Structure 1
Amino acid sequence: MDTPMMKNLLSKYETLRKQEHVSRQQLQAYQVQELQRLREYTYAHSPFYREFHKGLFDAPLEDLPVLTKSTLMDHFDDLVTDRAIHLRDVRTFAANNQGDELYLDRYVVHSTSGSTGNPGLFLMDSEEWLTALASSFRGFEEAGVKMDPNHPVKMAQITSTNPSHMSSGGASSMGNMGVPILLLTAAEPIQSMVEKLNSWQPQLLLGYASIIRILAYEQLSGRLQIAPSTVISGSEVLTPETRRRAVQAWGNVLFDMYGTTDCGGIGAECKEHRGMHLQEDLAIIEVVDRNNRPVPAGDYGEKLLVTVLWKRAQPLIRYELDDSLRLSSVHCPCGRPFRLVKDIQGRVREILTFPTVTGGSVKVHPIVFENIMDTLPVNAYQVVQEADGLHLLLSGVHDALNEDELLAAVKKALTKQGAVMPKVEVQRVPSIPQAASGKTPLVKSNLPHTPA
């Protein structure tokens, strides 16, 4: 990263830090201003949005139609604001990208894993990528890590090493800034991972929640011997038991961050540990039910509608994310103007559907299973719904485990939800299968996905 670009990044970072000290009223006024700028630019440069929002150019945000990933991909060429961008070329570029190359010499390209059967491609120009990096830096700062190029923090990141994944791109950019970073794939054997971390001795440890859980157990067992001043979990649901293990292993230095390839940084936890602050100066975030109606703080939404205020190359206005979360009804003592995420209970596709005794169906949220599985003496677990029933995958069982008691607990929980008890099988496995990105969802369904 050259000096002018570095200065630009640090300038964006300082601007974001200053916005943490404005009032809630000032923040809302800023959102109105930036939304207007976004819409004016989008309507001037995107044929898709001119048609998608036809007759609604002056309508309030909540009256605009919802943009899904499938709609975005179906209309990719018309949605982007640069007529030189073509989906077929972006796909070819993403498939062959080996590192820091830019599409058309100006666009960073990342892809989603396609776990819903519909992989997505997302791009940012160089300025937008710096904004995305600056938002990550702010998240690090909220966790007590100041990204000072003159005093770089020694870092280890365990996510994906695929250049098409956003986490890998971010790590590569930080390495180019001179940040000493050890980048490991989440698929690396645990023994090898432990050896490399022991040798590296990171000050900042960042990884998927499932990896943080395993490494905490390795630390408590004495095999891993590191003393990070900050541990950051991201990309997966951070359960209370994983948090408890991490705190037991390293102290109260664990922070949760929330972001997506589609929308960039969305939330980050501060030192008060009251939840994650939404980055509302970068996005307008609506927590809604299945019919896109807002839900009150304290209630879980069915999904999010995100309007990213800083993206121009590929505008996202009321873009649908199938994450189910609830907002806190209290303000954080830290004084930031941003709303707090109380907790995330998973994605809609991680909510399992079961038949009921009355002939209907009932949706069972991942937290129902996590409350049971989190108590087990295992290194990792996964609940998988298949056509033949539920499979409870257990890896690294390190103490006595009564499978009959586990089955009874699952039966009791599902019965309480009104579900007909399926066939349930406990499987002890060497490791939990990972997605292409290296993520390991705690609960997932392999049944055909049916949109709400």
Structure 2
Amino acid sequence: MDTTTLKLLFANYENLRKQEHLTRQQLESYQAQEFKHLREYAYANSPFYREFHKGLFDAPLQDLPVLTKSMLMENFDDLVTDRAIHLQDVKEFAASKQGDELYLNRYVVHATSGSTGNPGLFLMDSDEWITALASSFRGFEEAGVKMNPNQPVKMVQITSTNPTHMSSGGATSMGNMGIPIRQLTASETIPTMVEKLNAWQPELLLGYASIIRILAEEQLAGRLRIAPCTIISGSEVLTPETRRQAVQAWGNVLFNMYGTTDCGAIGAECQQHHGMHLQEDLAIIEVVDKNNRPVPEGEYGEKLLVTVLWKRAQPLIRYELDDSLRLSPSLCSCGRPFRLIEEIQGRVHEILSFPSATGGNVKVHPIVFHNIMDTLPVNGWQVVQEADGLHLFLGGLHGTFDEDGLLTAVKQALIKQGAAIPNIEVQKVPSIPQAASGKTPLVKSNLSHS
């Protein structure tokens, strides 16, 4: 057991908890101070940022240029702040990584899966990794899990076990510190997963929304027999039907968390269940339209711009994430000073484009399909756009199903959006295929122009 790192983790966690008692004014002052320190460090140590922000060193945040993942990867060696770091070396390290070994004996390296066709490599030094883990612990605490080194919570995580994936790295690090956690891969067969869960009897279950939905079905059928105090969903859109089934199976113990490999933990749901608190002492979040202009609270943005206040090895200032969400116009009754994410619709690359009935093209957001598909008697579903039309995959179908009714509902929804009706095909499958990361995207396009 790595007791020294464990002590550092819990000390960091307690410091983050103290930030929850700031006033909104104190929080904004803290953000301004930390942003100033971040810029000073980036300008002193990153050749990229000295050039990228040239002439803007004293400009307000909203006047700074936007950093995309493509730009980050194209300028990797100049963007990082340690001149010993080189992209080719990091790629080779990530390709051969087996466990929790550190690049240059100092840096944790994680990779995005490249589901948008643009994979990325992200690193943190050891201290930054502790901050990332502590922010996850705070998310657990918001969900009612009391993190105590003397009374460890028995956990299970069902995501990817690839060592380059951030979720797997977090579970491995916690296990090395003596925290009782089991990792299961999301690609395991359901009977095997059920058997292991029944044997382990976790108090805290973490997993993809698609896995939680399947496990709720298993619990209701009597094959899975666990009684977790808390279930946390992440990495996929948590739909209302998945939440309803989880509540039916285990009670009101399901909480949503939102984070990315690029930026770490961003939001977490508290016990009021009014949305997810932005971790605004760790990042400045801007919800913007396609032209990077802020959208009013209560309206969906096209994307996010995230400035991570604690990252120094690979600074991220106004870094673009293609997630569409809306913020609540009011704060939570729990008293935390952080703004609330009311809802996440999905990612921009999940928006499907169809010929318009009146000419040109029309974009259809994934929420249109969620509202229809999420009511079906299935263990999982997926909408895939191909050159020959729209394919509706239904996994683990059970109960009464009206295929004609489904086709009519989808066609009517597309007509309402102004789209010309494509060929639509329903396909019944044993299960929905997973991506390499183990995630199951609900809506995606395989058209080359998307």
Compute the TM-score of the two structures, normalised by the length of structure 1: 0.99
CA distance in 2, matches of 1:201, 1:444: 35
CA distance in 1, matches of 2:449, 2:344: 21
**Aligned residue pair count:** 450
CA distance in 1, matches of 2:435, 2:83: 34
Conservation of the 8 A alpha-carbon contact between 2:30 and 2:281: yes
CA distance in 2, matches of 1:358, 1:406: 25
Shift of 1:358: 1.6
Which is further off, 190-199 or 26-35? 190-199
| 1:321 is aligned to 2:294 | no
Task: Find the counterpart in structure 2 of residue 297 from structure 1.
Answer: 297
Letter of the 1:77 counterpart: D
| Pairing 1:238-253 to 2, within 5 Å after superposition | 238-253=238-253
CA distance in 1, matches of 2:219, 2:360: 46
CA distance in 1, matches of 2:389, 2:178: 50
Task: Find the counterpart in structure 2 of residue 284 from structure 1.
Answer: 284
Shift of 1:6: 2.0
Shift of 1:271: 0.3
Shift of 1:2: 3.0
| Pairing 1:181-196 to 2, within 5 Å after superposition | 181-196=181-196
CA distance in 2, matches of 1:24, 1:158: 36
Task: Find the counterpart in structure 2 of residue 259 from structure 1.
Answer: 259
Q: Secondary structure at the match of 2:238?
A: coil
Letter of the 2:268 counterpart: A
Conservation of the 8 A alpha-carbon contact between 1:149 and 1:178: no
CA distance in 2, matches of 1:339, 1:255: 17
Conservation of the 8 A alpha-carbon contact between 2:5 and 2:177: no
| Pairing 1:384-403 to 2, within 5 Å after superposition | 384-403=384-403
Q: Secondary structure at the match of 1:432?
A: coil
Deviation by residue 1:22-68 (Cα, 9 ceiling, x = unmatched): 10000000000000000000000000011111100000000000000
| Pairing 1:148-159 to 2, within 5 Å after superposition | 148-159=148-159
CA distance in 1, matches of 2:22, 2:223: 46
CA distance in 2, matches of 1:304, 1:292: 9
Conservation of the 8 A alpha-carbon contact between 2:303 and 2:348: yes
Letter of the 2:85 counterpart: I
Conservation of the 8 A alpha-carbon contact between 2:10 and 2:149: no
Conservation of the 8 A alpha-carbon contact between 2:306 and 2:317: yes
Task: Find the counterpart in structure 2 of residue 110 from structure 1.
Answer: 110
Task: Find the counterpart in structure 1 of residue 139 from structure 2.
Answer: 139
User: What are the ranges of 5 or more consecutive residues in structure 2 without an aligned counterpart?
Assistant: none
Compute the TM-score of the two structures, normalised by the length of structure 2: 0.99
Letter of the 2:323 counterpart: D
CA distance in 1, matches of 2:245, 2:329: 27
Task: Find the counterpart in structure 1 of residue 127 from structure 2.
Answer: 127
CA distance in 1, matches of 2:41, 2:88: 25
Task: Find the counterpart in structure 2 of residue 437 from structure 1.
Answer: 437
| Pairing 1:92-107 to 2, within 5 Å after superposition | 92-107=92-107
Conservation of the 8 A alpha-carbon contact between 1:111 and 1:120: yes
CA distance in 2, matches of 1:255, 1:14: 21
CA distance in 2, matches of 1:378, 1:186: 18
Q: Secondary structure at the match of 1:124?
A: strand
Which is further off, 3-12 or 33-42? 3-12
Shift of 1:348: 0.1
Q: Secondary structure at the match of 2:158?
A: strand
Q: Secondary structure at the match of 2:393?
A: strand
Task: Find the counterpart in structure 1 of residue 50 from structure 2.
Answer: 50
Shift of 1:157: 0.6
Q: Secondary structure at the match of 1:21?
A: coil
What root-mean-square deviation, in Å, do the aligned CA atoms of Structure 1 and Structure 2 show? 0.8
Letter of the 1:254 counterpart: L
CA distance in 2, matches of 1:127, 1:179: 19
Deviation by residue 1:236-279 (Cα, 9 ceiling, x = unmatched): 00000000000000000000000000000000000000000000
Task: Find the counterpart in structure 2 of residue 361 from structure 1.
Answer: 361
Shift of 1:449: 4.6
CA distance in 1, matches of 2:398, 2:2: 49
Query: Runs in 1 of length 4+ with deviation above 6 angstroms?
Result: none
CA distance in 2, matches of 1:368, 1:362: 13
Shift of 1:361: 1.1
CA distance in 2, matches of 1:365, 1:218: 31
CA distance in 2, matches of 1:344, 1:93: 34
CA distance in 1, matches of 2:83, 2:449: 34
Task: Find the counterpart in structure 2 of residue 343 from structure 1.
Answer: 343
CA distance in 1, matches of 2:44, 2:240: 47
**Alignment identity in percent?**
80
Conservation of the 8 A alpha-carbon contact between 1:149 and 1:177: no
Task: Find the counterpart in structure 1 of residue 272 from structure 2.
Answer: 272
Task: Find the counterpart in structure 2 of residue 164 from structure 1.
Answer: 164
CA distance in 1, matches of 2:142, 2:178: 21
Task: Find the counterpart in structure 1 of residue 41 from structure 2.
Answer: 41
Which is further off, 5-14 or 29-38? 5-14
Conservation of the 8 A alpha-carbon contact between 2:3 and 2:177: no
Conservation of the 8 A alpha-carbon contact between 2:2 and 2:178: no
Q: Secondary structure at the match of 2:20?
A: helix
CA distance in 2, matches of 1:10, 1:351: 40
Q: Secondary structure at the match of 2:57?
A: coil
Conservation of the 8 A alpha-carbon contact between 1:116 and 1:449: no
User: What are the ranges of 5 or more consecutive residues in structure 1 without an aligned counterpart?
Assistant: none
Letter of the 1:264 counterpart: G
Deviation by residue 1:127-179 (Cα, 9 ceiling, x = unmatched): 00000000000000001112212111111110000000000000011111211
Letter of the 2:194 counterpart: V
Letter of the 1:392 counterpart: L
Which is further off, 250-259 or 216-225? 216-225
CA distance in 1, matches of 2:340, 2:425: 38
Shift of 1:5: 2.2
Letter of the 2:104 counterpart: L
